[in-house]
Structure 1
Amino acid sequence: MATDRSQLCGRRVAVFGTGSSGVQVIPVIAQQAKHLFVFQRTATFTVPAQNKPLEPVYEQWWKSNYAEHRKQMLETIIGCLAPDTRNCSAMSVTSDERLQEYEKQWQKGRLNFLGAFNDLVLNQEANDTAAEFLRIKIREIVKDPAVVEKLLPYGFPLGAKRLCLDTDYFDTFNRDNVTLVDLRQESIDEITPTGIRIGDKKYELDDIVFATGFDAFTGALFKIDIRGRAGKTLREKWVGGPSTYLGLMTSDFPNLFIMTGLGNPTVFANAALCIEQNVDWIVNCLVYLRTNHHETIEPNAEAENDWGKYINAVANFTLFSKADSWFNGANIEGKPKVFMACACGVSNYRKKCQDIVVNGYQGFILAEH
């Protein structure tokens, strides 16, 4: 088995998974492998990453007023400045104008594509126009019509599974040494010492790469034997699904602070900015506890339950809840299906955190011992 990328040269390689990890490794492995077999479970939406050095004009614009730009980012939904996106519905403009905007965002790349119009993750009709644009791009790039049909994503809204960023992903399927195996049409019967068998067909392999995702939000926490009151583990408390207050704490686990992801907007926004906000809130909380001689803090059950209801209400207002994804734990067998992120946006989340502090850490139990 190869242990690093250079050892894949001249070998027969299989990749399972076409999510974020898969779309990034597949083009690179294809350039080195003797033959690459891509085993696809779900066709994915992906847009160009367009990774490149910062343009001098853009860099100078940022540095000319850095503090103010950072402040403005905190007042946005996604924690980013995107001045060239249109703050209107995709359905309020003509078809030609929509296509021009989608093409502009495609050429620019990055996740800003979802912000081409302000309702792409709220309105199914608007979402359909953006999704079809991306399908057209796949048809334009991939030459084999049979392969094209396998790569077209259907059955879920654009963005309901996290939008991927790639470099030459779809063009990779034009290579003679790449074969796409669609597991929606056939399932694997056996992994053998020499490869994979599907029915009577055998794929002879040297290496298998599993780019099949991860246990988001809770996986890392469950790796630690965290215990709260009466020795209850976090896994035991969250047996029916995770619950937090603000994504920062959970009841019956005093002084356990949780950051970035679970119950807050990190996965839908600028992660670095969300980490900053979480750290600032926690540091200020610790200062408050010490100044006022409190030794413990934890949310009460009512506040925690209300936050869970709020997360679900916001998710149901969007299209994010319309697909099985790692947003709701559907990618892990046996994991409770609970929407685990908060799609309220950076500015709204930040204000809620501030208001709770202003109101004397409303919803928290502060105690002296």
Structure 2
Amino acid sequence: MTPRPGVDLLVVGAGFAGLYALHAARTAGLSVRCLEAADGIGGTWYHNRYPGCRCDVESIDYSYSFDPGLQDEWEWSERYATQPEILAYIEHVADRFDLHRDIELGTRVESARFDEAASEWTVRTSGGEAHRAQYVVLATGALSDPVTPDLPGVHDFAGTVLHTAQWPAEEPDLHGKRIGVIGTGSSGIQAVPELAERAAELTVFQRTANYSVPAFNRPLTAEDQERIRAEYPERRAVARRSGGGSPHEAHPRRTAEVSEAERQEAFERTWRTGGVLFSKTFPDQMSDLEANGYARRFFEAKLAGVVEDPRTLDDLTPKDHPIGAKRICTDSGYYAAFNRDHVHLVNLRREPLTRVTPDGVATDRAHYDLDVLVFATGFDALTGTLGRMDVRGPGGATLADAWSDGPLTYLGMHVPGLPNLFLLNGPGSPAVLANMVLTSEQQVDWVVDLVAGVRERGATQVEARADAARAWNEHVAELADRTLFPQADSWYVGANVEGKKRTFMLYAGGLGTYTRVCDQVRDEGYPGLVLTSRAG
């Protein structure tokens, strides 16, 4: 098939990051096209339609900041927006900035090849089309490759099988059904209360207990909307300087330096704020195990005040990792659901799952009859989707080869051996440790500035130095080792994917520090990158 007319920049993925990349590149005067595998835009917010799905970052923060008019005109209805509202917002942004005209839906990228002589990528799709571009931006999402465990007998199940990350667009009728949920990460914890309302019997199969903090969600009033508009400029400025991309600021003193009363008050304040911010109450909470213990005991006291059955309480209490070392989940009634007579918890550490049968799930102690089986088993995070693309640089060097011993990047955006290719929210960047919308804006702006800088210098290719990438990976690992994150078998280290090399994949220094590092690299003339001309 004849290649399509070339563009300056090709974006793969039409979620938050990809859409902003499309807008920013167009604004900078670049010709740009966006390819999206799904039949609609939105990325994770297009696919994750399970009951109870909502963001664990406050709506007013989990939104674009690049346009004040957009910021002021959109009114979020709740503190923590649901999936339908987030998707409606994304559609509004695409309409407002006329993005659809440069997006091709239902177009899955299969491979990409770099022609060094032409300084050009050829990207081929599942439909057989070939797209040419000088630069490629992979905005494929950190959580976009669902994992379904290959359980014995899983293909024999005669009932309905669902995955939270591939939920049908047309809501299935689950009322009065016997539902089983495998997985108690974020999606499972959000789905369980909703499924409990519909099911005749709900059985939750838990391998690992996770920490979850109530969302304390509520509608946003007219007074809230007025206050939000007034506070936005300062709120955004504080968020960009912060570690997590939100305006939260930790308590000014370390956990053990305050009185018990002050400590309890601080924990109660972030607890009532809701969700993931509880892990950031004190500045040493994620770096000092003793400090973390105070937060863990506070959580356990809260949990004991909700769950009535002592054995269920014990099973729901995490024991194998510090609080926050896995991302704290955000729920609306998860723990209270287990007080209901028709909701049951199966601790798979006590009674291991042996197989899926045609009519349910068997453990080594019992059989659980089911009509519906829901997998809430997460993603091959950060590298999964990228690793499944056949991406080859000059001489045939592949992304898979470059990452055979774990992901290697420079600044989380560049891979040695793959010129003119940029990752957004990839391994080695803050990504999911921060507000993904603001991290996307920061990285896109940096990439677009870099492309302009390359052109100003008369160069046609830009590539990370291998030594700079190795140094960056060492820096990322060093930062992680200063925290408690590596003490958990989490998807941050790939522990949920069989055979995946375990390494902490994220930049733990915070969004504000990461932004300063990237700005310094730019101001110093990109010392970790090699800029060459086609003739070079």
| TM-score using structure 2 length | 0.67
Secondary structure of the residue that 1:290 maps to in structure 2? helix
Q: Which residue of 1 aligns with 2:212?
A: 46
The counterpart of 2:308, out of the listed 122, 143, 147, is 143
Structure 1 residue 319, shift from structure 2 partner: 0.7
Correspondence for 1:12:
178
Selected match of 2:326 from 157, 161, 171 = 161
Q: Secondary structure at the match of 2:462?
A: strand
Partner of 1:229: 394
**Kept after mapping to 2: 8 A contact 1:5/1:29:** no
**Residue aligning to 1:34:** 200
Q: In the superposition, relative to structure 1, how do residues 183 and 5 fare at CA in structure 2: closer, same or farther (>3 Å)?
A: farther
Q: Once the 2 structures are TM-superposed, how far is the Cα of residue 200 of structure 1 from its aligned partner?
A: 4.9
CA distance in 2, matches of 1:220, 1:50: 34
Equivalence for 1:104: 269
SS in structure 1 of the partner of residue 447 of structure 2: helix
Please state whether the residue corresponding to 2:391 is helix, strand or coil.
coil
Query: How far apart are the structure 1 equivalents of 2:171 and 2:200?
Result: 13
Label 1:277 to 1:27 Cα distance change in 2 as closer, same or farther (>3 A): same
Q: State yes or no: 1:204 paired with 2:369.
A: yes
Q: Residue 130 of structure 1 corresponds to which residue in structure 2? A: 295
What RMSD over aligned residues (CA atoms) do the two structures have, in Å? 1.5
Matches within 5 A, 1:272-291: 272-291=437-456
- Per the normalisation by structure 1, the TM-score is 0.96
Q: Give the residue type in structure 2 aligned to 1:201.
A: A
| CA offset digits 1:273-299 (Å, max 9, x no partner) | 111000100110111112222111111
Cα distance in 2, alignment partners of residues 5 and 241 from structure 1: 38
Distance 2:270 2:526 in 1: 42
Q: Which has the higher strand share?
A: 2
Residue 463 of structure 2, aligned match among 294, 298, 313: 298
Query: What is the CA distance between 1:32 and its match in structure 2?
Result: 0.2
Aligned counterpart, 1:73 = 239
Q: 2 CA distance for matches of 1:264 and 1:361?
A: 17
Identical-pair percentage: 39
Using the alignment, how far apart are the partners of 2:349 and 2:275 within structure 1?
28
CA distance in 2 between counterparts of 1:199 and 1:122 reads: 39
Q: For 1:117 and 1:249, how far apart are their aligned partners in 2?
A: 33
Q: Tell me, yes or no, if the aligned pair for 2:212 and 2:275 is still in contact at 8 Å.
A: no
Q: How many positions carry a matched residue from both structures?
A: 368
> In structure 2, the residue corresponding to 1:304 is in which secondary structure?
helix
Which position in structure 2 is the counterpart of 1:179?
344
Are residues 145 and 221 of structure 1, via their aligned partners in 2, closer, same or farther at CA, if it must alter by over 3 Å? Answer: same
The structure with more helix, counted as a fraction of residues: 1
Task: Give the whole-Å Cα distance in 1 for the aligned partners of 2:418 and 2:323.
Answer: 37
What amino acid is the match of 1:21?
Answer: S
Q: Give 1:57 shift.
A: 4.9
Instruction: After TM superposition, give the deviation of residue 206 of structure 1 in Å.
Output: 0.7
Partner residue of 1:190?
355
Matched with 1:22 is 188
Correspondence for 1:312: 477
Distance 2:231 2:378 in 1: 39
Note if 1:337 corresponds to 2:502: yes
Q: Structure 1 CA distance, aligned partners of 2:288 and 2:186?
A: 24
Provide, for residues 77-126 of structure 1, a one-character-per-residue CA deviation record: whole Å limited to 9, x for no partner.
2222125x522111111222222222222222122212211111011111
Task: Report how far residue 54 of structure 1 moved.
Answer: 3.0
Structure 1 residue identity aligned to 2:203: F
